[in-house]
């Protein structure tokens, strides 16, 4: 009722963030709750569980949705294009990392082992590059989020 006309035409980014986080969490809890990826980088061994990643992404999307909700209620002018780009990049990156973990679990493999030994030039490096690329995409989305919030705060003080 009291919303501005520009808000009514745009997508509610707070709901989109909350639904994305909830969807990732529910899918991992129902479909493949015990999926894990084991990575060995030189002498360090990492285990990434799908449920842990889903909770982390769910918390992040809930916080971002809360910020979008807060700025919508405060009537601060967040740029809708930057917000949509932030949510799109973050969702694509989260689904990329999440999909790398979930695809082996859907085919019946509970754990996937990849060794990235210094002398090994195997296909495991492609997985590493995919994970690093998705992480970089997620960080670019978060940079856009910070720029959007700081810009709204600066515009709101005028």
Report pLDDT digits (tens) over 62-80: 888 888 888 888 777 788 8
Per-residue pLDDT tens digits for 1-33: 445 544 445 567 778 888 887 887 777 777 767
CA–CA distance, 131 with 110 (Å, rounded to integer): 19
Rounded to 5°, angle at Cα 25 from 24 and 29: 120
Across 38-47, 109-118, 121-130, the highest mean pLDDT is recorded for: 38-47
Measured at the alpha carbon of residue 154, what is the angle toward residues 148 and 155, in degrees to the nearest 5?
85
Report, as an integer, the average pLDDT of 117-132: 63
pLDDT mean over 138-149: 91
Both structure tokens of 142: 């978060």
CB-based contacts of 112: which residues, under 8 Å, 6+ apart?
A: 36, 37, 38, 101, 104
The answer, as to whether pTM is greater than 0.75, is no
């Amino acid at each position: 009722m009291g919303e501005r006309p520009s808000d009514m035409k745009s997508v509610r980014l707070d709901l989109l963030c909350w639904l994305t986080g909830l969807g990732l969490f529910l899918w991992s809890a129902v479909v493949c709750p015990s999926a894990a990826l084991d990575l060995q980088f030189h002498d360090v061994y990492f285990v990434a569980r799908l449920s842990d990643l889903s909770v982390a992404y769910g918390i992040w999307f809930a916080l971002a949705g809360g910020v979008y909700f807060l700025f919508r209620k405060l009537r601060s002018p967040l740029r809708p294009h930057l917000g949509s780009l932030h949510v799109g990049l973050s969702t694509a990156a989260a689904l990329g990392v999440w999909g790398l973990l979930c695809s082996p679990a859907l085919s019946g493999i509970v754990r996937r082992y990849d060794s990235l030994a210094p002398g090994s030039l195997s296909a495991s490096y492609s997985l590493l590059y995919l994970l690093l690329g998705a992480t970089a995409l997620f960080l670019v989305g978060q940079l856009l989020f910070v720029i959007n919030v700081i810009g709204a705060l600066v515009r709101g003080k005028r």
